[in-house]
Amino acid sequence: MKTVLLSLLCFCSMGCLKKKESTPANGSITVDGLIRTYTLHLPPNYREGSDFSLVIAMHGGGGNGGQFESSSRLSQKADAAKFIVVYPNGVKGDGLLKAQTWNAGGCCDYARDHNINDVKFISLLIDHLVAKYKINPKKVYATGHSNGGMMAYRLACELSDKIAAIAPNSSTMVVTQPCNASRAVPILHMHSVQDNNVPYAGGVGTGVSKHYNPPLDSVFQVWSLKNACATPAQVIVNNNSYKLTKWTDCSNNTTIQYYLTKDGGHAWPGGTPGGLPLGDKPSAVINANDLLWDFFQQYQLP
Q: Would you kindly state where each structural domain of the chain is located, as residue ranges?
A: 21-296
Query: What local confidence, expressed as pLDDT, does residue 86 receive?
Result: 98
Q: Helix, strand or coil for residue 129?
A: helix
Query: Residue 3, Cβ neighbours under 10 Å: how many?
Result: 7
Percent of the chain past pLDDT 90, that is, above it, reads 84
Q: What is the mean pLDDT of residues 236-263?
A: 97
Helix (H) or strand (E) holding 257: strand 256-261
Query: What local confidence, expressed as pLDDT, does residue 24 receive?
Result: 63
Answer with the residue of higher pLDDT: 25 or 234: 234
Query: What local confidence, expressed as pLDDT, does residue 195 receive?
Result: 96
pLDDT of residue 133 exceeding 80, the answer is yes
Phi, psi at residue 290, to the nearest 5°?
-65, -45
Percent of the chain past pLDDT 70, that is, above it, reads 90
Task: Answer for the pair 147, 171: CB distance below 8 angstroms, yes or no.
Answer: yes
pLDDT of residue 261 exceeding 50, the answer is yes
Task: Answer for the pair 181, 157: CB distance below 8 angstroms, yes or no.
Answer: yes
pLDDT of residue 4 exceeding 50, the answer is no
pLDDT of residue 234 exceeding 90, the answer is yes
Query: What local confidence, expressed as pLDDT, does residue 23 receive?
Result: 52
Q: What is the mean pLDDT of residues 4-27?
A: 45
198 band by pLDDT with thresholds 50, 70 and 90 = very high
pLDDT of residue 273 exceeding 90, the answer is no
Task: Answer for the pair 110, 76: CB distance below 8 angstroms, yes or no.
Answer: no
pLDDT of residue 236 exceeding 90, the answer is yes
Query: What local confidence, expressed as pLDDT, does residue 140 receive?
Result: 98
pLDDT of residue 19 exceeding 50, the answer is no
At 179, the amino acid letter reads: C
Query: Residue 279, Cβ neighbours under 10 Å: how many?
Result: 18
- What are the tens digits of pLDDT across the range 238-250? 999 999 999 999 9
pLDDT of residue 225 exceeding 50, the answer is yes
> Cis omega before residue 12 (within 30°)?
no
Query: What local confidence, expressed as pLDDT, does residue 7 receive?
Result: 37
Query: What local confidence, expressed as pLDDT, does residue 6 receive?
Result: 35
Query: What local confidence, expressed as pLDDT, does residue 259 receive?
Result: 98
Q: What is the mean pLDDT of residues 61-86?
A: 97
Rg (CA), the chain: 20
Alpha-helical (H) ranges within the chain are 2-21, 65-72, 74-81, 109-113, 118-132, 147-158, 216-226, 288-296
pLDDT of residue 17 exceeding 90, the answer is no
pLDDT of residue 100 exceeding 60, the answer is yes
> Hey, which residues does 55 pair with through a beta bridge?
85, 141
Kindly report each contact of residues 73-76 with a partner whose C-beta sits within 8 Å and lies 24 or more positions away, as own/partner. Answer: 73/270, 73/271, 73/272, 73/289, 74/143, 74/289, 75/24, 75/41, 76/289
Query: What local confidence, expressed as pLDDT, does residue 253 receive?
Result: 95
Query: What local confidence, expressed as pLDDT, does residue 272 receive?
Result: 87
Kindly report each contact of residues 219-225 with a partner whose C-beta sits within 8 Å and lies 24 or more positions away, as own/partner. Answer: 219/153, 219/172, 219/173, 219/189, 220/187, 220/189, 220/245, 220/247, 220/256, 220/258, 222/173, 222/179, 223/185, 223/187, 223/247, 223/256, 224/250, 224/256
Task: Answer for the pair 64, 53: CB distance below 8 angstroms, yes or no.
Answer: no
CATH number of the structural domain 21-296: 3.40.50.1820
DSSP string, 143-184: EEETHHHHHHHHHHHH-TTT--EEEEES-----SS----SS-
217 band by pLDDT with thresholds 50, 70 and 90 = very high
